[in-house]
């Protein structure tokens, strides 16, 4: 097979998104906040729609700002329900994301006549159109696919965030109270992580869709966690998985003529279940498990 | 308005079917959801509802059309596999429950999307109907659908009603149930089946993405109004039914609107009202009762101040004297004076304020509780006499007559408090 | 019986702490001397852990205050170390023994700085002190309960503090290890550090501690062990909760809000 530039770009972009999500997902998983990640990725929808409506296109900065705000609002509502209204955590998450997502769908339907916002694109993404969606400067120079640039920017920010706050993220994920005792601003770190997750969701939604982001956020880290015992190997394996599922996902989608993002998730799911079958039972550790949501 | 009358007079039989369907669905899912909410497994419902998508698609592919039997069966099977995998992974890997639920949910949904795009590209004309399963369209419920969805809903409602004792045992204290000889594993299995069924019947009207709301929100909202399980179930069902009908009506009036989101928005609205205004537990209610309480403490502090002055031989205080005692609470003190005067606890003579007989009685009670608690703290809790005042300042307002009697008895009706002040009695 | 310490390292003034709106500590007021091994004793549910958490600022008291080294907590955080209960974390976390102990040095490192050679040496020395040198690369879920406990103590040692607060560090630890760790804590106390330990076994407490705090929702006693461990005070500590106090707690809990807060 000769070098296919479109395939390369799609796989590159897919990998970058999968890695960004996976890196954040490792810490979301270790904090037992995988479902909060799920909630955020649903909850940014109204922000995307409002930003879209204000900007008139899905390329505006308004979309990213709108979604970022909604992501943070979602975590705040969950917190408010839990602390002030005293609703248990799992129900708080469920109520918050269903409400915000429902509002998002209603807004899409309200605005559907005014703007060109494709419900299916927002939800499932269409990375396949990436090569024809180009970034053109004012003078007419074509710089390459827009979504790839977004993915590179997103990856750089996520990688930088994790590099600079690695120690704080690790400590507060393992033992939050010990962190606060040492004067590490656990709440600030937590909020920063949530903001990165919402930003990543928005940045990736055009490619893989708002709902499938959560799969990339959770499944590769969960798979890698079954094989590793230390944090660095866990992160490395998550990265490799991100690249692997992009390559496999692309070619399988090509083969079956289906959604690339959906196929990436399916591949991730198969790898996850296989890993669980191989590593299940034997890895069940003797340590105390606080496996509660 | 015409729409409203047309809709709610059921002139159109198909609307009647839809409404009956929504009512049965609302009751069924609210019942199941309330149990799983109490079991702290609310998000499992979310996982199952996303996980039925591939089953729906496979059912569609096999039937070649939107046949409810195929679709319900497909949805049930893939929901069942997801539920089984969730508990298998929980038991056999070191993954935590939230990671497992999120993984299962997103993997199944992703696979569903793959199947959906495959169907889309096959060019099957019935494809449009399939999209309804994502966000729901209650209006599309037909008579033949009603027999299946409604029938399943009736089964769910009946099972949960007949076996209420067994399922409450499962939710509240499964280990105890096992200990007294109930087959808890079978009950758990039966409950999981009911949970999957309730998701399956909801997908047509509400859609897979938002079905979780119909399971979680009614129970969570109803929990604010009652502590009694039967009332909780009825209230949750009521909330679900009302929002279900509201959502259906909106998507009847605005045909391009999917039903699911509107049901969820109405449900969330009911939930918000519950969180804010429910008696005792609502946040606003709590805020008001706290304000009420603070007013009461101000009134009682004023009574106390007047009484202590009396102990020193001064029968009345000027308003200015009182302001000096509480320099930062001028407004509150003014309110308190008004209130106590109205209640006949104090007399106002120009600028002078004094206690009535009834006021003396009340003031004595507060001072007595204050000093009794101070005595208790020093005698039974080894707290130094100079540290007991703050605590007594708060508890004097909440100690009940029964507790007062017990304090008196325990302390053997003391005459003096730790500061050698008299404990007043009538 | 509450004996005050001279030039105390820790002063708790009239502190009341509520948990889920139920007061679990009533009007706690004591001072602690420096350079001693101090035990906190009391029955289950007496509020021992809550006391430690309140000192560390992990739960907010509804009344009263805490001063450490005569200063508010925020100013002296780096001089205090904390050993939480073993069950408070998920031991499946992907980290080695060395990783966890290195965490003790993060507080002094500050933002953005990464642990380097010096931090590693501190961690290794701390592991040596608790006798865990042979396990540095072991994954933490593969340790026994007692070993996990020792890793937590090593992490606290790596923090190099002046005041150590330990929540049940001997739960699930065998007797030989318990004795070895107590020797270590004694040595630390001799070096002038103050070590406060939540403990549940009154017999071993008598052998090891210099000073005792006896707790049962309220402070029963605080002072040198031979003065406060008397039959009467032990009965007050372990002989059931004060009936009236429980009833008042219940009354507070039943309100729609916490009347003890202001």
Domain-wise residue ranges, chain C = 10-254
Q: Which CATH superfamily is domain C10-254 in?
A: P-loop containing nucleotide triphosphate hydrolases (3.40.50.300)
**Where does the pLDDT of residue A3 fall: very low under 50, low under 70, confident under 90, or very high at 90 and above?**
low
pLDDT higher than 50, residue C3: yes
Two tokens, residue A253: 């989608």
Interface confidence (ipTM) of the complex: 0.88
Q: Please tell me the distance from the alpha carbon of residue C4 to that of residue A43, in angstroms, as a whole number.
A: 55
Scanning B385-414 for CB atoms below 8 A from C yields 387-388, 390-391, 394-395, 397-400, 403, 406-407, 410
Average pLDDT of chain A is 84
What Rg value do the Cα atoms of chain B yield, rounded?
31
Backbone torsions φ then ψ of A133, nearest 5 degrees: -100, 90
Q: Please tell me the distance from the alpha carbon of residue B105 to that of residue B47, in angstroms, as a whole number.
A: 4
Whole-number pLDDT of residue B320: 81
Scanning A26-55 for CB atoms below 8 A from C yields 30, 32
Q: Please tell me the distance from the alpha carbon of residue B152 to that of residue B59, in angstroms, as a whole number.
A: 18
B268-273 long-range contacts, CB within 8 A, separation 24+ = B268/A95, B268/A98, B268/A99, B268/A102, B268/B213, B268/B217, B269/B243, B270/B217, B270/B221, B270/B239, B270/B242, B270/B243, B271/A95, B271/B217, B271/B220, B271/B221, B271/B239
Closest CA to A217 of A187, A196, A244, A231: A196
In a domain, residue B420? The reply is no
**What percent of chain B is modeled with pLDDT above 70?**
99
Q: Please tell me the distance from the alpha carbon of residue C48 to that of residue C238, in angstroms, as a whole number.
A: 13
Nearest to A212 among B42, B106, B281 (CB): B106
- Looking at the structure, do residues B78 and B110 belong to the same domain, yes or no? yes
Backbone torsions φ then ψ of B280, nearest 5 degrees: 75, -50
- Looking at the structure, do residues B69 and B98 belong to the same domain, yes or no? yes
**Where does the pLDDT of residue A293 fall: very low under 50, low under 70, confident under 90, or very high at 90 and above?**
very low
Positive or negative: CA dihedral A270, A271, A272, A273: positive
Two tokens, residue C173: 């630890």
- Looking at the structure, do residues B330 and B306 belong to the same domain, yes or no? yes
What's the DSSP call for residue A190?
H
Q: Please tell me the distance from the alpha carbon of residue A140 to that of residue A3, in angstroms, as a whole number.
A: 27
**Where does the pLDDT of residue C234 fall: very low under 50, low under 70, confident under 90, or very high at 90 and above?**
confident
**Where does the pLDDT of residue B235 fall: very low under 50, low under 70, confident under 90, or very high at 90 and above?**
very high
**What percent of chain C is modeled with pLDDT above 90?**
44
Instruction: Work out the burial of residue A43: count CB atoms within 10 Å of its CB; fewer than 13 is exposed, 13-18 middle, 19 or more buried.
Output: buried
pLDDT higher than 50, residue A287: no
Q: Please tell me the distance from the alpha carbon of residue A122 to that of residue A107, in angstroms, as a whole number.
A: 13
pLDDT higher than 60, residue A115: no
pLDDT higher than 80, residue C197: yes
* Across B139-146, average pLDDT: 78
Domain-wise residue ranges, chain A = 5-276
Whole-number pLDDT of residue B123: 74
pLDDT higher than 60, residue C259: yes
Nearest to A287 among C58, C88, C141 (CB): C141
* Across C213-240, average pLDDT: 86
Closest CA to B17 of B215, B151, B129: B151
Whole-number pLDDT of residue A120: 67
Set of chain B residues whose Cβ sits within 8 Å of the Cβ of C255: 293, 398
Nearest to B96 among A32, A209, A263 (CB): A32
Whole-number pLDDT of residue A117: 60
Whole-number pLDDT of residue B234: 94
pLDDT tens-digit profile of B150-182?
Answer: 889 999 999 999 998 889 888 888 888 888 888
pLDDT tens-digit profile of B345-356?
Answer: 888 887 888 888
* Across C167-188, average pLDDT: 88
In a domain, residue B191? The reply is yes
* Across C163-190, average pLDDT: 89
* Tally of domains within chain B: 3
- Looking at the structure, do residues B351 and B386 belong to the same domain, yes or no? no
Closest CA to A212 of B107, B24, B237, C226: B107
Residue B123 backbone zone (phi > 0: left; psi -120 to 50: alpha; other: beta): left
Burial annotation C34-45 (CB, 10 A radius, 16+ → b, else e): bebbbbbbbeee
Collect all residues with Cβ–Cβ distance below 8 Å to A110 and sequence separation of at least 6. none
Task: Pick the more confident residue, A205 or B263.
Answer: B263
Question: Mind telling me how many Å the CA of A249 is from chain C's nearest CA?
Answer: 28
> Chain B residue closest to A214 (CA)?
B106
- Strand-pairing partners, residue C39, are C197, C212
Task: Pick the more confident residue, A253 or C255.
Answer: A253
Whole-number pLDDT of residue A286: 40
* Across C102-109, average pLDDT: 88
- Looking at the structure, do residues B294 and B205 belong to the same domain, yes or no? no
Average pLDDT of chain C is 88
Task: Pick the more confident residue, C151 or C247.
Answer: C151
pTM, entire model: 0.87
Query: What is the number of H-type helices and E-type strands within chain B?
Result: 20, 3
What's the DSSP call for residue C2?
B
- Looking at the structure, do residues B378 and B345 belong to the same domain, yes or no? no
Two tokens, residue B225: 């109004």
In a domain, residue B421? The reply is no
Closest CA to B76 of B201, B185, B180: B201
pLDDT tens-digit profile of A185-208?
Answer: 888 998 899 889 988 988 887 778
In a domain, residue B422? The reply is no
Of the residues B355, B382, B397, the one at which a domain ends: B355
Of the residues B316, B333, B355, the one at which a domain ends: B355
Q: Please tell me the distance from the alpha carbon of residue B414 to that of residue C239, in angstroms, as a whole number.
A: 25
Please judge whether A231 and C82 are an interchain contact, meaning their C-beta atoms are less than 8 angstroms apart.
no
**Where does the pLDDT of residue A285 fall: very low under 50, low under 70, confident under 90, or very high at 90 and above?**
very low
pLDDT tens-digit profile of B49-58?
Answer: 999 999 999 9
Q: Please tell me the distance from the alpha carbon of residue B412 to that of residue B379, in angstroms, as a whole number.
A: 12
Q: Please tell me the distance from the alpha carbon of residue A149 to that of residue A13, in angstroms, as a whole number.
A: 9
* Across A260-281, average pLDDT: 90
Question: Poorest-confidence range of A98-107, B71-80, B260-269, B374-383?
Answer: B374-383
Q: Please tell me the distance from the alpha carbon of residue B166 to that of residue C79, in angstroms, as a whole number.
A: 55
In a domain, residue B84? The reply is yes
Which secondary structure element, helix H or strand E, spans residue A81, and what is its range?
helix A61-83
> Chain C residue closest to B374 (CA)?
C27
Instruction: Work out the burial of residue B425: count CB atoms within 10 Å of its CB; fewer than 13 is exposed, 13-18 middle, 19 or more buried.
Output: exposed
Average pLDDT of chain B is 87
Q: Please tell me the distance from the alpha carbon of residue A202 to that of residue A247, in angstroms, as a whole number.
A: 22
CATH code at position B301: 1.10.10
- Looking at the structure, do residues B263 and B305 belong to the same domain, yes or no? no
Whole-number pLDDT of residue C262: 59
Q: Please tell me the distance from the alpha carbon of residue B106 to that of residue A282, in angstroms, as a whole number.
A: 26
Whole-number pLDDT of residue A183: 84
- Looking at the structure, do residues B343 and B220 belong to the same domain, yes or no? no
Whole-number pLDDT of residue B265: 93
What's the DSSP call for residue C169?
T
∠ Cα A218 A280 C93 (to 5°): 55
* Pair C222, C36: CB distance under 8 Å: no
pLDDT tens-digit profile of C131-150?
Answer: 899 999 999 999 988 899 99
Two tokens, residue A177: 């109270």
Set of chain A residues whose Cβ sits within 8 Å of the Cβ of C258: none
Q: Please tell me the distance from the alpha carbon of residue C234 to that of residue C228, in angstroms, as a whole number.
A: 9
Positive or negative: CA dihedral A73, A78, A82, A86: positive
* Pair C138, C97: CB distance under 8 Å: yes
**Distance set, CA A200 to CA A41, A123, A157, A190 (Å):** 9, 15, 9, 15
Of the residues B248, B278, B308, the one at which a domain ends: B278
Scanning B254-313 for CB atoms below 8 A from C yields 280-281, 285-287, 289-290, 293
**Where does the pLDDT of residue B326 fall: very low under 50, low under 70, confident under 90, or very high at 90 and above?**
confident
Whole-number pLDDT of residue A119: 63
What's the DSSP call for residue A285?
-
Two tokens, residue B191: 């409950």
- Looking at the structure, do residues B117 and B187 belong to the same domain, yes or no? yes
How many CA atoms lie less than 13 Å away from A220 in the CB half-sphere? Answer: 33
CATH code at position B390: 1.10.60.10
Set of chain C residues whose Cβ sits within 8 Å of the Cβ of A168: 106, 111
pLDDT tens-digit profile of A45-92?
Answer: 888 888 888 877 666 678 888 888 888 889 889 989 988 888 888 899
In the sheet with B316-318, reading across from the earlier edge strand, the strands are: B316-318, B352-355, B346-349
Helices B184-202 and B68-92: crossing angle in degrees, nearest 10, is 140
In the sheet with C218-224, reading across from the earlier edge strand, the strands are: C63-68, C10-19, C22-32, C218-224, C211-216, C37-41, C194-198, C163-166, C80-83
Positive or negative: CA dihedral B238, B244, B247, B248: negative
Task: Pick the more confident residue, B188 or A110.
Answer: B188
The answer to whether A225 contacts chain B (CB < 8 Å) is yes
The answer to whether C63 contacts chain B (CB < 8 Å) is yes
Please judge whether A167 and C78 are an interchain contact, meaning their C-beta atoms are less than 8 angstroms apart.
no
Q: Please tell me the distance from the alpha carbon of residue A287 to that of residue A248, in angstroms, as a whole number.
A: 36
- Alpha-carbon torsion angle B72, B74, B75, B76, nearest 10: 80
CATH top-level class for A5-276? Answer: mainly alpha
Whole-number pLDDT of residue A290: 37
pLDDT higher than 90, residue C95: yes
Give the domain extent around B384: 360-411
Question: Mind telling me how many Å the CA of A258 is from chain C's nearest CA?
Answer: 36
Whole-number pLDDT of residue B260: 85
pLDDT higher than 60, residue A284: no
∠ Cα A35 A36 A42 (to 5°): 90
Whole-number pLDDT of residue A23: 96
* Across B288-310, average pLDDT: 87
Question: Mind telling me how many Å the CA of B342 is from chain A's nearest CA?
Answer: 36
Set of chain B residues whose Cβ sits within 8 Å of the Cβ of C1: 382
Residue with the two structure tokens 């070590």: C195
- Looking at the structure, do residues B182 and B292 belong to the same domain, yes or no? no
In a domain, residue B418? The reply is no
* Across A119-124, average pLDDT: 66
Whole-number pLDDT of residue A20: 95
Set of chain C residues whose Cβ sits within 8 Å of the Cβ of A231: 94-95, 99
pLDDT tens-digit profile of A22-34?
Answer: 999 999 999 999 9
CATH code at position B173: 1.10.3470.10
Nearest to A285 among C57, C86, C92 (CB): C92
Whole-number pLDDT of residue A58: 62
């Amino acid at each position: 097979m000769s070098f296919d530039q479109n395939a390369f770009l799609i796989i590159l972009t897919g990998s970058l998104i999968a890695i960004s999500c996976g890196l954040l997902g490792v810490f979301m998983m270790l904090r037992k906040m995988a479902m909060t990640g799920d909630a955020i990725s649903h909850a940014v929808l109204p922000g995307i729609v409002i930003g879209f409506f204000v900007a008139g296109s899905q390329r505006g900065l308004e979309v990213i700002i709108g979604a970022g705000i909604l992501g943070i609002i979602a975590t705040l509502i969950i917190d408010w329900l839990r602390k002030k209204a005293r609703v248990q955590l799992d129900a708080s998450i469920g109520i918050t994301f269903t409400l915000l997502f429902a509002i998002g769908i209603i807004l899409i339907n309200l605005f559907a006549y005014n703007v060109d916002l494709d419900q299916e694109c927002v939800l499932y993404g269409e990375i396949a159109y990436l090569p024809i969606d180009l970034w053109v400067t004012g003078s007419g120079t074509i710089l390459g696919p827009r979504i790839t640039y977004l993915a590179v920017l997103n990856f750089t920010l996520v990688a930088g965030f994790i590099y600079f706050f690695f120690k704080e993220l690790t400590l507060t994920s393992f033992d939050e109270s010990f962190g606060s005792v040492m004067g590490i601003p656990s709440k600030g770190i937590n909020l920063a992580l949530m903001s990165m997750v919402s930003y990543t969701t928005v940045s990736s939604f055009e490619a893989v869709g708002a709902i499938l982001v959560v799969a990339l956020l959770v499944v590769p880290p969960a798979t890698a966690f079954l094989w590793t015992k230390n944090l660095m190997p866990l992160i490395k394996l998550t990265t490799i998985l991100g690249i692997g599922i992009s390559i496999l996902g692309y070619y399988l989608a090509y083969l079956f003529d289906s959604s690339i993002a959906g196929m990436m998730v399916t591949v991730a799911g198969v790898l996850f279940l296989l890993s669980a079958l191989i590593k299940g039972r034997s890895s069940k550790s003797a340590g105390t498990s606080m496996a509660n949501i | 308005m015409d729409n409203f009358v047309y809709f709610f007079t059921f002139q159109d039989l198909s609307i009647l079917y839809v409404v009956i369907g929504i009512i049965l669905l609302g009751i069924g899912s609210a019942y199941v959801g309330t149990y799983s909410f109490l079991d702290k497994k609310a998000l499992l419902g979310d996982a199952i509802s996303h996980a039925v998508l591939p089953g729906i698609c496979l059912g569609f592919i096999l039937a070649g059309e939107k046949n409810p039997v195929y679709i319900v069966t497909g949805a049930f099977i893939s929901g069942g596999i997801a539920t089984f995998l969730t508990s298998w992974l929980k038991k056999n890997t070191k993954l935590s429950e939230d990671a497992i639920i999120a993984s299962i949910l997103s993997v199944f949904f992703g696979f569903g999307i793959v199947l959906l795009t495959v169907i889309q590209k096959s060019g099957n004309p019935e494809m449009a109907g399939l999209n309804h399963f994502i966000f729901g369209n209650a209006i599309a419920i037909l008579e033949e659908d009603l027999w299946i969805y409604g029938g399943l809903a009736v089964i769910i409602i009946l099972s949960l009603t007949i076996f209420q004792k067994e399922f409450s045992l499962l939710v509240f204290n499964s280990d105890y149930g096992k200990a007294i000889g109930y087959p808890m594993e079978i009950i758990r299995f039966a409950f999981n089946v009911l949970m999957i069924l309730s998701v399956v019947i909801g997908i047509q009207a509400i859609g897979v993405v938002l079905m979780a709301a119909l399971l979680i929100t009614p129970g969570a909202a109803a929990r604010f109004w009652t502590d009694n399980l039967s009332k909780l179930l009825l209230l949750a069902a009521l909330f679900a039914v009302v929002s279900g009908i509201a959502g259906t009506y909106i998507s009847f009036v605005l045909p391009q609107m999917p039903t699911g989101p509107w049901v969820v928005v109405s449900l969330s609205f009911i939930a918000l009202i519950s969180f804010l205004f429910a008696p005792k537990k609502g946040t606003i209610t709590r805020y008001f009762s706290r304000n009420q309480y603070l007013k009461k403490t101000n009134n009682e502090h004023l009574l106390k101040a007047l009484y202590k002055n009396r102990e020193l031989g001064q029968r009345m205080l000027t308003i200015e004297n009182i302001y000096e005692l509480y320099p930062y609470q001028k407004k509150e003190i003014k309110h308190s004076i008004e209130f106590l005067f109205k209640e006949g606890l104090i007399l106002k003579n120009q600028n002078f304020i004094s206690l009535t007989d009834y006021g003396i009685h009340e003031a004595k009670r507060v001072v007595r509780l204050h000093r009794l608690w101070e005595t208790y703290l020093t005698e039974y809790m080894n707290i130094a006499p100079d540290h007991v005042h703050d605590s007594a300042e708060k508890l004097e307002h909440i100690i009940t007559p029964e507790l007062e009697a017990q304090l008196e008895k325990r302390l053997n009706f003391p005459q003096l408090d730790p500061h050698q002040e008299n404990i007043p009695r009538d | 019986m509450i004996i005050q310490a001279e030039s105390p390292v820790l002063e708790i003034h009239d502190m009341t702490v509520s948990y889920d709106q139920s007061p679990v500590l009533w009007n706690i007021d004591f001072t602690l001397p420096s350079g001693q091994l101090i035990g906190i004793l009391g029955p289950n549910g007496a509020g021992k852990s809550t006391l430690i958490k309140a000192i560390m600022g992990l739960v907010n008291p509804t009344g009263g205050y805490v001063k450490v080294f005569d200063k508010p907590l925020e100013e002296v955080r780096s001089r205090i170390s904390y050993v939480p209960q073993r069950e408070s974390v998920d031991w499946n976390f992907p980290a080695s023994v060395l990783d966890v102990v290195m965490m003790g040095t993060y507080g002094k490192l500050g933002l953005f700085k990464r642990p380097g050679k010096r931090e590693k040496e501190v961690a290794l020395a701390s592991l040596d002190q608790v006798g865990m040198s042979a396990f540095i690369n072991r994954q933490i879920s593969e340790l026994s309960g007692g070993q996990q406990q020792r890793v937590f103590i090593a992490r606290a040692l790596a923090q190099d503090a002046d005041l150590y607060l330990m929540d049940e560090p001997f739960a699930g630890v065998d007797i030989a290890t318990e004795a070895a760790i107590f020797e270590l804590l004694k040595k630390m106390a001799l070096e002038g550090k103050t070590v406060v330990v939540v403990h549940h076994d009154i017999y071993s407490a008598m052998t090891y501690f210099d000073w005792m705090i006896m707790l049962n929702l309220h402070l029963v006693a605080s002072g040198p062990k031979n003065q406060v461990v008397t039959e009467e005070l032990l009965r007050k500590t372990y002989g059931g909760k004060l009936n009236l106090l429980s009833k008042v707690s219940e009354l507070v809990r039943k309100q729609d809000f916490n009347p003890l807060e202001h």
